Amino acid sequence: MRIIELYSGIGGMHFAAKGSSLCDQTNVVLAIDINPVCNDIYRHNFPHTNLINKNICSLTAADINYLLPDMILMSPSCQPFTRLGKQKDTSDTRNTSFLCFMKLLPYLTTVSYILIENVKGFETSETRDHLLDYLNQSNFFYEEYLINPRQFGICNSRLRYYLLGKKLSSQNVTRSSGIIYNLPPNYERVIKNMIQKEIPKNLSTVVEHQTYNNEWKLYLVPEKYLKKYFLIMDIVSCNSKNSCCFTKGYTRYIQGTGSVLSSVLQNDTENIKKEFIHLVSNTNKIENNEETLKLINKLNLRFFTPVEISRLMMFPETFSFPEHITIKQRYKALSNSINVFVVSFLISYLVRD
């Protein structure tokens, strides 16, 4: 299976293909991204893959056909559609390359499979309408999903849009209609054909416990955040069975950017929260109340490390960062990537007999 990986990022799609039912029967013949940091991480993990820094708008159908790809995997820029962005859709310049690629679809002679990942919100966009038009012109049958890793039992929420496209020889293709919110029927059979990997059903399986020693101070939640945002933090413990989606604002912002980890058990965390609410019920000046700060500090709140986040996103243990990549860059690169297990499953489902 010859694969082209567009918007290749840190190699999530590549890892997903290797973890799918295709296993080692894959050859990523080309990976493309314009982000130099992500490209450094990709090369570190896949030193032998043909990775180029190139604007996708400069690709032609002839360039792609020359490589004889069977499958194209991609995760285009999500900023034009994300709930935190301006949702400029087709008028967003970050979407230009994806719109350029769509126009090539009718002229790709060897591509039989396409998988596209994006954020929730893409399914209602004008860009999606254009995409479906080009897929229809190119004789692709497609299905669209909104899938959360939680549906597989993974203890991390990351709801995403996925389109699976398969080129058919018949001109009379029955089109799929509407977004599918459930996993495909008999999905367990598909998983059995994948490379088996333990699913983290609670956070104890991903936590780096040594962080509490050598690197504890590096990841501690700053006191200024504790004073101001404690009540809106999503606080989880090692025995928790869920964590929030991690975004590029993680560690720099608190609300809606990802969970923070407490060193005490979940029940104890909830009890401390209740006690905190009782203490501050008559005042909004948390920062001037030493008693409430002492209470918060019992939780030993810290941010998840990049390694822990990569585990929640189901990257293999072999995945690593080059030493020169800063912690901030690691968080940002991960936030723009995919859940590897979910995409492995969807690739396996897409190519099933």
Residues designated as active site: 78
Residue 316: which of 233, 200, 197 has the closest Cα? Answer: 197
Q: From the CB of residue 241, how many other CB atoms can be counted at a distance below 10 Å? A: 14
Contact residues for 273 (Cβ-Cβ < 8 A; gap 6+): 235
CA distances from 101 to 36, 56, 106, 144, 280 (A): 21, 7, 10, 19, 55
**Angle value at C-alpha 330, between 310 and 59, nearest 5 degrees:** 95
Q: Which of 151, 155, 139, 137 is nearest to 180 (CA)?
A: 151
Of 166, 167, 174, 276, residue with least CA distance to 229: 276
Long-range contacts of 81-86 (CB under 8 A, 24+ apart): 81/118, 81/119, 81/121, 81/122, 81/125, 81/127, 82/119, 82/121, 83/119, 83/120, 83/121, 84/247, 84/256
Q: Which amino acid is at 27?
A: N
- Rounded CA-CA distance 117/126 in Å is 16
How far is the C-alpha of 154 from the C-alpha of 341, rounded, in Å?
9
Per DSSP, 107 falls in state G
**Burial (CB count <10 Å: 0-12, 13-18, 19+), residue 69:** buried
Of 338, 340, 336, 337, the closest CA to residue 317 belongs to 340
